[in-house]
Amino acid sequence: MGVDSRPLAIVLMGPTAAGKTDLAIAARDALDGEIISVDSAMVYRGMDIGSAKPSPEELARAPHRLIDIRDPAEPYSAAEFRDDALAQMHEIAAQGRVPLLVGGTMMYFKRLMEGVANLPSASPDVRAALEQDVERHGLKGLHERLARVDPESAARIHPNDPQRLLRALEVYEVSGKSLSQLWREQRPETFPFRTLSIGLAPANRSVLHERIAKRFGAMLDAGFLEEVASLRARGDLSPTLPSMKSVGYRQAWAYLDGEFDREQLRFRSVVATRQLAKRQLTWMRSWPRLNWVDPLVGDPAERIWKLVRKSGT
User: Domain limits of the chain?
Assistant: 8-115+189-310, 124-184
Q: Please check the confidence at residue 189 and state whether its pLDDT lies above 70.
A: no
Q: Please check the confidence at residue 188 and state whether its pLDDT lies above 60.
A: no
Q: Give the pLDDT of residue 117.
A: 62
Whole-prediction pTM value?
A: 0.81
Q: Give the pLDDT of residue 312.
A: 66
Looking at domain 8-115+189-310, its CATH architecture is 3-Layer(aba) Sandwich (3.40)
Question: What value does the mean pLDDT take over residues 250-275?
Answer: 97
Question: What value does the mean pLDDT take over residues 271-292?
Answer: 96
Q: What angle do CA 250, 252, 256 make, to 5 degrees?
A: 120
pLDDT digits (tens, 9 = 90+) for 60-91: 999 999 999 999 999 998 889 999 999 999 99
Residue 253 identity (one-letter amino acid):
W
CATH of 124-184, one of 1.20.1600.10, 1.10.20.140, 3.90.226.10, 3.40.50.720: 1.10.20.140
- Report the chain's mean pLDDT, rounded to a whole number: 92
8-115+189-310 matches 124-184 in fold: no
Q: Helix 106-114 crosses helix 78-94 at what angle (to 10 degrees)? A: 70
CA atoms within 13 A on the CB side of 155: 4
Q: Give the pLDDT of residue 3.
A: 75
Mean pLDDT lowest among 16-30, 43-57, 119-133: 119-133
Mean pLDDT lowest among 15-24, 119-128, 140-149, 246-255: 119-128
Cβ-Cβ contacts under 8 Å for 207 (sequence gap 6 or more): 296
Instruction: Identify the band that residue 282 occupies on the pLDDT scale cut at 50, 70 and 90.
Output: very high
Q: Give the pLDDT of residue 313.
A: 55
Cα end-to-end distance, the chain, whole Å: 18
Question: What value does the mean pLDDT take over residues 148-156?
Answer: 89
pLDDT digits (tens, 9 = 90+) for 91-145: 999 999 999 999 999 999 999 998 866 677 778 888 889 888 888 888 889 899 9
